[in-house]
Structure 1
């Protein structure tokens, strides 16, 4: 009897071990699936018709990318290779929406990585864009998490990227012009920047977070009405890991409302991208990494 009981106990232990091994395998496969989802970057194509677009800019293309979030030299090289491939799209303009480097989850838990430790990887990625072909220019904004802003500006300058911090740039084709405005997170200057433009000017507003949409939409041009025709933001990662409509990321109410995709507010087109990289850990669930190739067309009167 004792022998039979020992034999039965061994079988139960072997059975439990098999169940545990199967469960572990399922978890690893699921994590592998989420990792693969984070590595695939989709190119989204869109055409936006704007009545204020000058005829000289009809057909202009913009490549918009945000939240690269490189976490080391290896990811910086991978991001550089991605943009080498994206250069084949031959956009007229490159716009970058902030969050160029970030600490990994393990570094955050251990507290063993400082802001200065992330600067070399960020610099390596940004300077790799020096030869990125964008005949109408390369422009960028900063996120609140983009550490050491002077080093950031230095990297941007070395890459030929103009960093717009509550500032604007005007692009000319002949006598016609299009303006790009870059807003700082929580900017107190949105209204004054909007007041630089008339309602008939063509303005692209670049910001890191859709939390800035409300302030931008409610600001007026100097002659009243909408001042920006196109507003672009990132920050949300589309929620990164979304289950039953819920995300683990800490987002504001405005960011949740504009989690991803296109919308229209009055006369302005608004886009929130899901971004290229990931916050803290390279895993995605029910979201997709993406960049956007936007073609601007002049709307018929």
Structure 2
């Protein structure tokens, strides 16, 4: 697997340009054998640590590999992720595939295996939760959205029928100051609803379409089609960055897209 590092230096109006922050984001591991095995995950983590992040964000879909693969026990991929390290910590959300095999009744009784495995290696999982983080004598908020497609049919292309556990209003209600906010949301579909005081939204899920032909992405798992398929999107001064992720979904093939780690430099030191 060829791994790319993609750099962004956005200037969102809601982020103070004299407050520098380096975010490293990893999305859509889909850990499995042979395609994204523990050795691959360990290499992703080594590369991520080498990028000298202030904070590392994990954007969901840790398991549920593609066709022609064997799923790993969550303890194996979580152990590899446990090697990640950053001064402001490693923070996670869950993706739709982290709810595979679960019902609402199941999660009412306790966390998913993915959440349990991450917590066991010291990585907090933020489900509709916002936390205030100190950085360089100042503060910002990190909000994690519950998954929007958690119980939607996994093999349907009717992405307008969402059945999730997301509560954007509830998560942002926990932000009690006017300090800047970074939002983690596995699927980018929430972006039209994100208010302007959120400086940056980070998402995965789409795999960049996974297959891109002649500049077009034939299949994007989003009700907005290719609108939020990949990259840095700005709408009405609101900023979204969508990663193409690391692993595979469906068939273990990428064409015209890349497996990537995303680096986001916010503030004057990273601005270009």
Match of 1:138 in 2: 90
Q: Structure 1 unaligned runs (5+)?
A: 1-38, 108-112, 218-225
2:52 aligned to 75, 83, 90, which one? Answer: 90
Match of 2:121 in 1: 159
Question: Does the residue aligned with 2:10 lie in a helix, a strand or coil?
Answer: strand
Match of 2:222 in 1: 252
Given that residues 94 and 139 in structure 1 are in contact (C-alpha distance below 8 angstroms), is that contact kept between their aligned partners in structure 2? yes
Cα distance between partner residues in 2 of 1:177 and 1:44: 26
Task: Report matched runs for 1:107-256 at 5 Å.
Answer: 118=71, 120=73, 122-147=74-99, 149-173=111-135, 176-186=138-148, 187-197=165-175, 200-217=178-195, 226-247=196-217, 249=219, 251-256=221-226
Task: Report matched runs for 1:47-126 at 5 Å.
Answer: 47-53=9-15, 58-72=19-33, 75-106=37-68, 118=71, 120=73, 122-126=74-78
Cα distance between partner residues in 1 of 2:128 and 2:42: 27
Question: Does the residue aligned with 2:130 lie in a helix, a strand or coil?
Answer: strand
Q: Name the CA shift for 1:164/1:255 in 2 (closer, same or farther; >3 Å).
A: farther
Greater Cα offset, 94-103 or 124-133:
124-133
Which structure has the larger Rg? 1
Cα distance between partner residues in 2 of 1:51 and 1:287: 30
Deviations along 1:129-181, one digit per CA (max 9) or x if unpaired, are: 22322110111111121146432122111222110111112111365211111
Match of 2:106 in 1: none
Cα distance between partner residues in 2 of 1:296 and 1:103: 32
Deviations along 1:198-227, one digit per CA (max 9) or x if unpaired, are: 78421000011111112224xxxxxxxx23
Cα distance between partner residues in 1 of 2:189 and 2:13: 26
Q: Name the CA shift for 1:188/1:142 in 2 (closer, same or farther; >3 Å).
A: closer
Q: Name the CA shift for 1:184/1:257 in 2 (closer, same or farther; >3 Å).
A: same
Backbone CA RMSD of aligned residues: 2.6
- Higher helix proportion: 1
- What TM-score, normalized to structure 2? 0.79
- Indicate whether 1:271 and 2:241 are aligned: yes
- What TM-score, normalized to structure 1? 0.72
Question: Does the residue aligned with 1:178 lie in a helix, a strand or coil?
Answer: strand
Cα distance between partner residues in 2 of 1:255 and 1:175: 41
Given that residues 23 and 53 in structure 2 are in contact (C-alpha distance below 8 angstroms), is that contact kept between their aligned partners in structure 1? yes
Equivalenced residues, count: 243
Given that residues 65 and 248 in structure 2 are in contact (C-alpha distance below 8 angstroms), is that contact kept between their aligned partners in structure 1? no
